[in-house]
Structure 1
């Protein structure tokens, strides 16, 4: 097998995906079997400089080069090959944020990431003007806020892009974005798979009095869809990526994408009526829609798949942090009792207890709001556990309520989609830490959403694998083959998938819990205001 992989590497029958996450940059090389054959990663953290969450340009390039080098070393160690050619390359990164450049290609202000909540005025005004939800983290909200703030640099802007778009531009010379990534920069027209022309005109009209030297359409990157060729690695780009100088120029690149799109690809959730839920520190659900939503909902973000289909995103800031803290407390107790317990075993034991609880958690209530929660309109959070004198307080219900509440805020967003907007879902794919203990997170998610929930073996491979698959699709697809078909036939056909269907009794129990959750929000409000 390794001989075949070695041949594939030597002949360039591979694809490389590199994703810039918020805490890790990961490079994944895939072979003809479309599974990872080598990888490398670089840990990094954002910095809070002058009230802005940012990453320095130096750190961006250091992280890219380091993760690539580790992957290339992995290739050398495993297969005895010095990596010189790759079939195709793709870059993805955390979406949104603000990177603007002058005519010389110099960054005008430090990179402002999606995490900055500093664009409320712009977000509100643009949402009203476009009649389309423009969240604070979107690139257009950052640009308009800079204009409202009368920041000096706005007159010098020649090009605006995202982190993935920036890397792609420097390696290929092409100012482009994949449509999924572009949909978090500015609203997309689903018919043209390009920026919405009406809204572009509305924006230009809005800033006309500022006498800027540019029109919005002149500074935004070109929009491309999955499968299109987005340029090749230049000589200069090859040296930027591989500092040893071994990697050859001329390698084709796919359109750069955002982490939402690569997550959809990695879970095979790009077809209409499918969706995926990522559950870890935060929780977000992405559902591929059949139709536009009937009205604007501030709780729901609209983006697209890498092929340009509309996706509704329900995102909650809090998911597993408070639950993890409680598991940590049980770990401390075990040590105090003189018992050394493996952390994985502890999680598994406690999570499985949750399945023994009453369907509605026996009247218990919890809020895992370690930080603010926009879905329920809290600027700050206070983790809380609440019970009445007649609630059924035992370990099973205690664990169950903390797992239920991990999905509570997200459930409010999903209810908007499924009850108010009548969105239809055939299944949801779960991925992330909360699904590690077999069957537990799945059961609770199925109860919460009343939809079958599936978990794949590869769901942990993540976005770097997803963008590698998009690069592979670009060079290996047959004529007019859709991405959906390519993934089904070449990537996921032999995947081991475990599916859990909702139990009506548990669905009813989760609904009862949510009534209690909504009624109890004033308790959380009082805690935020008084503690």
Structure 2
């Protein structure tokens, strides 16, 4: 096996996927069977600078280089060869946000990430103008808000893109986005798989009085669908990615995608009536629709699969950050008691406790709002844990409540789809850190959505593996082979899947928790207004 993998590495028959997530930049190299053979990662955190959640360009490149280098070192250590060429590369990153550049390619203002809830006026006005929900996170909302704010840099914009688009541009010289990523920049026309031209005209008319030296279509990246070629690694790009200088130029890149699209691919959820929930720093459910929704909902984003099919997205800004912080506190306590506990063991032990709790979490309440939460209309967040004098306060209920609340805001959006719009779902696939402890996150999510939840053995691979599969599809697909067919027949045919069906008691308990959650939002509102950091 090792010799076959070694040969594949040396002959450039591997594929590399790199995803820049909110807390980790992960590189996954896959072999000819599309299974991971080496990986590397770099942990990072966003900074809150001048009321903006951001990452600096220095951090972006340092993180990418370190993640790549660790993967390349893993190759050397396991197989005794130096990585010099790769069959194809794919880049993915957290979606949305705002990166605007001048004609010299200089970043005009610090990168504004998806996490910023600072575009409410733009979001409201554009939703009304287009009769199409434009969330605050979307790139067009950031651009229009900057125009409304009369920011100095607006007239100097030559190019606007996302984090994934920025990396692609710097490594290939091509200004390109995959259609799934582009659907979080500006609405997509499902027939043309390109930006909606009518809406572009409406936007240009709206900003015409500003006399800006550009039109919207001049500054947006080109849109490509899965399977199309999106440039090659330049000499400059190869040196930028691999600082050791070993990696050769000329490697083809697939269209860069967002973490939502790669999550769909990694869970084989690109066909209609399928859906997946990605749960990490944020939580979002992606449901591939059979038909349009009956009306515009501010809680539901409409994006696309990497092939351009319509997807309803219920996205919450907050999921596991506060939960992780509490687990960190328990770890600190253990150490102060002289007990060394492996972090994975600690998570597993605490998560399993949650299954022993009361169905509704014992009357406890928590909001893991580290940042604002658009689903419940908060521009800022305050992590909060609340209990009444007669709550059943124990460890099992404490953990159960924090797992419940991780999905709380997202459930509000999912209820619209499942109950009001009667969207049909055969099953939900879960992926992300919250599902690593077998059966726990699954059971909680199954209760939240009253739908069977499946987790694949590759669920922990996440988006880096997903974008690697898209790059593999680009170079290995047969004539007219669709992405659905490629995933079903070549990737997931023998995949082990574990499914948990909802327990009626847990479903009822989650509903009781949600009643408390909705009533308690007034407490969160008071905390935001009165507790300043």
Pairwise same-fold verdict (TM > 0.5): yes
Partner of 2:422: 422
- Alpha-carbon separation, structure 1, partners of 2:234 and 2:322: 47
- Alpha-carbon separation, structure 1, partners of 2:110 and 2:381: 26
Partner of 1:502: 502
TM-score (norm 1): 0.92
Partner of 2:521: 521
Shift of the 395–273 alpha-carbon distance from structure 1 to 2, 3 Å rule, reads same
Shift of the 107–407 alpha-carbon distance from structure 1 to 2, 3 Å rule, reads closer
**Shift of the alpha carbon at 1:277?**
1.5
1:6-49 CA deviation, whole Å, 9 max, x = no partner?
A: 11112111111122222332222111121111222233333444
SS in 2 for 1:428: strand
Unpaired stretches in structure 2, ≥5 consecutive residues:
none
Contact 2:36–2:465 under 8 Å retained in 1: yes
Matches within 5 A, 1:132-281: 132-281=132-281
- Alpha-carbon separation, structure 1, partners of 2:336 and 2:74: 42
1:43 aligns with 2:43: yes
SS in 2 for 1:92: strand
SS in 2 for 1:207: helix
- Alpha-carbon separation, structure 2, partners of 1:160 and 1:28: 28
Partner of 1:381: 382
Shift of the 366–225 alpha-carbon distance from structure 1 to 2, 3 Å rule, reads same
- Alpha-carbon separation, structure 2, partners of 1:509 and 1:482: 42
Shift of the 473–505 alpha-carbon distance from structure 1 to 2, 3 Å rule, reads same
Contact 1:87–1:252 under 8 Å retained in 2: yes
Greater Cα offset, 401-410 or 92-101 = 401-410
Matches within 5 A, 1:341-356: 343-356=343-356
**Shift of the alpha carbon at 1:147?**
1.8
Contact 1:370–1:383 under 8 Å retained in 2: no
1:471 aligns with 2:471: yes
1:331-381 CA deviation, whole Å, 9 max, x = no partner?
A: 666677776655544443443333334433444444444444322223333
- Alpha-carbon separation, structure 2, partners of 1:224 and 1:320: 33
1:141-178 CA deviation, whole Å, 9 max, x = no partner?
A: 12112222223332232222112112212222222110
**Shift of the alpha carbon at 1:408?**
1.8
Contact 1:16–1:86 under 8 Å retained in 2: yes
1:175-231 CA deviation, whole Å, 9 max, x = no partner?
A: 211001101111111111110111000000001111222211121111100001112
Shift of the 141–480 alpha-carbon distance from structure 1 to 2, 3 Å rule, reads same
- Alpha-carbon separation, structure 1, partners of 2:339 and 2:245: 53
- Alpha-carbon separation, structure 2, partners of 1:526 and 1:108: 36
1:247-302 CA deviation, whole Å, 9 max, x = no partner?
A: 22222111111111112111222111111112234322222221222222122222
Greater Cα offset, 193-202 or 42-51 = 42-51
Contact 1:364–1:388 under 8 Å retained in 2: no
Greater Cα offset, 49-58 or 403-412 = 49-58
Partner of 2:25: 25
SS in 2 for 1:112: coil
Contact 2:300–2:313 under 8 Å retained in 1: yes
Unpaired stretches in structure 1, ≥5 consecutive residues:
none
Shift of the 53–328 alpha-carbon distance from structure 1 to 2, 3 Å rule, reads closer
Shift of the 395–482 alpha-carbon distance from structure 1 to 2, 3 Å rule, reads same
Contact 2:88–2:253 under 8 Å retained in 1: yes
TM-score (norm 2): 0.92
Contact 2:95–2:163 under 8 Å retained in 1: yes
Shift of the 255–339 alpha-carbon distance from structure 1 to 2, 3 Å rule, reads closer
- Alpha-carbon separation, structure 2, partners of 1:239 and 1:101: 22
Shift of the 199–273 alpha-carbon distance from structure 1 to 2, 3 Å rule, reads same
- Alpha-carbon separation, structure 1, partners of 2:110 and 2:334: 47
Aligned residues: 530
Matches within 5 A, 1:56-95: 56-95=56-95
**Shift of the alpha carbon at 1:2?**
0.8
How much is the aligned-residue C-alpha RMSD, in angstroms?
A: 2.4
Greater Cα offset, 278-287 or 452-461 = 278-287
Greater Cα offset, 84-93 or 237-246 = 237-246
**Shift of the alpha carbon at 1:464?**
1.5
1:395-415 CA deviation, whole Å, 9 max, x = no partner?
A: 544443333233222111110
SS in 1 for 2:458: helix
Shift of the 345–60 alpha-carbon distance from structure 1 to 2, 3 Å rule, reads closer
- Alpha-carbon separation, structure 2, partners of 1:314 and 1:250: 39
- Alpha-carbon separation, structure 2, partners of 1:436 and 1:133: 33
- Alpha-carbon separation, structure 1, partners of 2:340 and 2:427: 40
Matches within 5 A, 1:288-437: 288-327=288-327, 343-378=343-378, 379-387=380-388, 389=390, 392=392, 394-437=394-437
